[in-house]
Structure 1
Amino acid sequence: MWWWKNKNIITKIFLLFFTLGLISYQGFSQRAYFPEEGVKTPLNERLYFGGNFGLQFGSITYIEASPLVGLMMTERYSVGLGATYRYLNYKDIPNAKSSIYGGKVFNRYNLLDNLFAHAELETLNVELVREDPPGEFVFYREWVPGLFLGGGYFMPFGNRGGLNFSILYNVLYDNQKSPYNEPYVIRAGFVF
């Protein structure tokens, strides 16, 4: 396709969301939640589960699992918790294996049926290296925080689940310690 060869990532993201909007003719939030006046909705009907995972094999082995659980507080607002585990192994570099783990809390507000605003506080335990004394490298672990703000698109599959696509910006990004290459993060995940 001629438009996909364009190097501009913003154009690609816009076209992806526009196409998904055309495909999805009826919208739902992460979990269909329609409280009746005067009736208390049971907790299990307001909970939703999901997350994302990633795999890559080759010269770099990358495995990620990030489950989450959310709770619809109102018809449009939800909060949740999540965990993250990543395993990295660089085959071309001896003993270049690392694990990254941590957790997150998030808030999500559905602006429209399929568009949401997202805020997330994440802290990950990463392995870092420093030169101490000069010429000798010391490996150590440190908790690295991240505050992600942004939004995304929800593509429903029925009234119970679907796919989330989000673009987030880490306002606490530290290029010396962060496990992310850039302050911008694009995510795709699922909920049910």
Structure 2
Amino acid sequence: MKHIHKLLFITALLSSSMAFGQLTEDPDDRKDQGRDPLRTQTPEGRPLPFGQRLRFGGGISNIRLGNPFSIGVSPVVAYQATERMLIGIGGTYNYTRYKAVTTTGNTVPYLTYNQFGGRGFVMYEFIPSILPNLYLHGELENTTIQQIENQNNDRTTSYALTAPLVGVTYSQPISRRFGVNLTALYNLNYNDNSGIARQVYGSPFVLRISFF
């Protein structure tokens, strides 16, 4: 009989200890029992301040080796507008160096392109329950292109291009406000008959790695 009383006492003690632990555990741990940590709210449900929704970073793009040679950099500022949507702006600079070959096999002087401008973009996580961190991506890039013919007397010509780009971005989070992003876009305004577009963009497809 005494053994039964001891067993009941130990069972009651363990049960009360478990219940006390559930009531006193860390709130940051308890939030994971319901929903994932939010990107726009604190664990207590209060909206995050504007500054804590901002992301800063950038990336490299348009990397081509050989002829033509090109490389680009793009600083970015993004804002977590909602749990599933990011909006942002960025600057763009691309350098391209190209040597054309005529039909007779002769080469012409190098052409240098300095491409600079700005862009605005929107990213929307459209199927988080199936593929989290996969975003639809749309942006508008406005670019000025400066073409320099490298001869004894360099001649400079300027062009302006506007490129609407659509595609997807996969973001691998490193922290709540920083991640590695792989973006694949299609240039809706690409014209294969345009020599400037061919030399600067290479193709209607734009691949980009960025960090923000």
Gaps of 5+ in 2: 1-37, 100-106, 149-154
Q: Which one of 78, 93, 99 corresponds to residue 85 of structure 1?
A: 93
Any idea what SS the aligned residue of 1:45 has? helix
TM-score (norm 1): 0.67
Match of residue 40 from structure 2? 34
Indicate whether 1:109 and 2:124 are aligned. yes
Residues 1:170 and 2:187 are matched in the alignment = yes
Number of the residue aligned with 2:78: 70
In structure 1, runs of 5+ residues without a counterpart are 1-31, 130-137
Runs of 4+ in 1 over 6 A off after TM superposition: 55-59
The residue type paired with residue 163 of structure 1 is V
Q: What is the SS of the residue equivalent to 2:51?
A: helix
Alignment check: 8 A CA contact 1:33 1:45 kept: no
Cα distance change, pair 146–74 in 1 and its aligned pair in 2 (3 A): same
More helix by proportion, 1 or 2?
A: 2
Separation in structure 2 between the aligned mates of residue 186 and residue 57 of structure 1, nearest angstrom: 15
Deviations 1:77-122 (A, max 9, x none): 1111001111223488645322110110001111222110111000
1:121 is aligned, of 114, 125, 140, to 140
1:145 aligns with 2:162: yes
Query: Is residue 56–residue 76 contact of structure 2 (8 Å, CA) maintained in 1?
Result: yes
Question: Structure 2 vs 1, CA of residues 159 and 189 (structure 1 numbering), >3 Å: closer, same or farther?
Answer: same
Structure 1 residues 58 and 168: CA distance shift in structure 2, 3 A: closer
Higher relative contact order (CA 8 A, sep 6+): 1
Bigger radius of gyration among the two: 2
Task: Tell me, yes or no, if the aligned pair for 2:111 and 2:147 is still in contact at 8 Å.
Answer: no
CA deviations on 1:30-56 (whole Å, 9 max, x unpaired) are xx6132587342111100012212567
Whole-Å Cα distance in 1 between the matches of residues 91 and 119 of structure 2? Answer: 6
Per the alignment, residue 32 of structure 2 pairs with: none
Q: Is 1:43 aligned with 2:60? A: no
**Superposed displacement of residue 174, structure 1:** 2.1
Q: Measure how far apart 1:183 and its partner are.
A: 1.3
* 1:161 corresponds to: 178
Q: Normalization by structure 2: what TM-score?
A: 0.62
Q: More strand by proportion, 1 or 2?
A: 1
Would you say how many aligned residue pairs link Structure 1 and Structure 2?
Answer: 152
Change (3 A) 1:41 1:160: closer
8 Å CA contact retained: 1:65, 1:86: yes
